[in-house]
A and B are shown apart, each in its own frame.
Chain A
Amino acid sequence: MCAEELDFIEKYDLLGCIQCGRCTGGCPVATRTPLRVRGFMYDGLNEERLEELSEKPEIWDCTTCFTCAARCPKGLEPLEVLIGLRSLLIEEGKVQPTVRDALESIFKDGNPWGSPRSKRMDWAADLDVKILEPEDEEKTDVMLYICCTDAYDPRVMKVAQALVKVLKAANVDFGLIGEEESCCGSEVRRLGEEGLFEMCDEENVEMMNSYNVGSIVAISPHCYNTLKKEYHGLKHPVLHYTELVAQLLEDGKLTLNTEMKKLITYHDPCFLGKQNDIYDEPRYILTRIPGAEYKDFDRCRERSLCCEGGGGKMWVETESKEERLAEIRVDDAKEMGAEVIAVACPFCLLTLEDATKVKGVDEEMRVADILELLAEAL
Chain B
Amino acid sequence: MKDILVLMEHRQGAMRDVSLEMLSGAAKLGGTVVAVLLGKDVDAFADKAAGLADKVIYVNDAMFENYNSRAYQKALEALIAENGPGLVLIGNTAQGVDMAPALAVSTGFPLVTDVTAIEMDGDKPKPTRTFYGGKLNAHMNMKDADTYILTIREATFPADDPSKSGEIVKTDNPVSDDLSYRQFVEYVEPEVGDVDITQSSLLVGVGRGIREDKNLPIVEELAKLLGADLAASRAVVDAGWLPSDRQVGISGKTVKPKLYLAVGISGAFQHVTGMKGADVIVAINKDPDAPIFGIADYGIVDDLFKVVPKLTEKVKELKGA
Chain A residues close to B by CB (< 8 Å): 97-98, 113-114, 154-155, 315, 317, 357
Contact = CB atoms under 8 A, between A and B. Distances in A.
B195 to A, nearest CB: 23
B269 interface: no
Contacts of A317: 213-214
A113 B210 CA distance: 12
A114 B213 CA distance: 14
B240 A97 contact: yes
Contacts of B211: 113-114
Interface string B204-229: 00000001111000000000000000
Contacts of B306: 154
8 contacts: A97-B240, A98-B212, A98-B213, A113-B211, A154-B303, A154-B305, A317-B213, A317-B214
Contact of A155 (B214, B239, B305): B305
A97 B214 CA distance: 13
A154 B286 CA distance: 11
Contacts of B212: 98, 315
Interface residues of B, number: 10
Interface string B302-320: 0101100100000000000
Contacts of A155: 305
Nearest to A315: B212
Nearest to B214: A317
Contacts of B214: 317
Interface of B: 211-214, 239-240, 303, 305-306, 309
Q: Is the contact region of chain A dominated by helix, strand, or loop, or is it mixed?
A: loop
Contacts of B303: 154
A97 B239 contact: yes
A175 to B, nearest CB: 27
Contacts of A114: 211
Q: In the complex, which of the residues B212, B239, B240, B306 has the most CB atoms of chain A within 10 Å of its own CB atom?
A: B212
A113 B213 CA distance: 14
Contacts of A97: 239-240
Nearest to B239: A97
A237 B234 CA distance: 47
Given A98-B213, A317-B214, 12 more contacts: A97-B239, A97-B240, A98-B212, A113-B211, A114-B211, A154-B303, A154-B305, A154-B306, A155-B305, A315-B212, A317-B213, A357-B309
B225 to A, nearest CB: 14
Q: Which 10 A-B pairs give the minimum distances between C-beta atoms?
A: A154-B303, A154-B305, A317-B214, A98-B212, A154-B306, A97-B239, A155-B305, A97-B240, A114-B211, A113-B211
Contacts of A315: 212
Nearest to B304: A154
B5 to A, nearest CB: 44
A315 B215 CA distance: 12
A336 B144 CA distance: 81
Q: In the complex, which of the residues A98, A113, A114, A155 has the most CB atoms of chain B within 10 Å of its own CB atom?
A: A98
A154 B307 CA distance: 11
A154 B303 CA distance: 7
Contacts of A154: 303, 305-306
A57 B309 CA distance: 32
Nearest to B286: A154
B26 to A, nearest CB: 42
Nearest to B240: A97
A50 to B, nearest CB: 28
Nearest to B306: A154
Q: In the complex, which of the residues B214, B239, B306 has the most CB atoms of chain A within 10 Å of its own CB atom?
A: B214
Contacts of B309: 357
A97 B303 CA distance: 24
A114 B303 CA distance: 16
Nearest to B212: A98
A256 to B, nearest CB: 28
A357 B215 CA distance: 13
Nearest to A122: B286
B68 to A, nearest CB: 36
Q: In the complex, which of the residues A113, A114, A154, A317 has the most CB atoms of chain B within 10 Å of its own CB atom?
A: A154
A317 B240 CA distance: 14
A214 to B, nearest CB: 35
A317 B241 CA distance: 13
A125 to B, nearest CB: 13
Nearest to A114: B211
A155 B305 CA distance: 8
Contacts of B240: 97
Nearest to A152: B211
B240 to A, nearest CB: 7
Contacts of B213: 98, 317
Contacts of A113: 211
Nearest to A154: B303
Contacts of A98: 212-213
A317 B216 CA distance: 13
A317 B239 CA distance: 15
Nearest to A358: B217
A113 B212 CA distance: 10
A98 B305 CA distance: 19
Contacts of B239: 97
Nearest to A113: B211
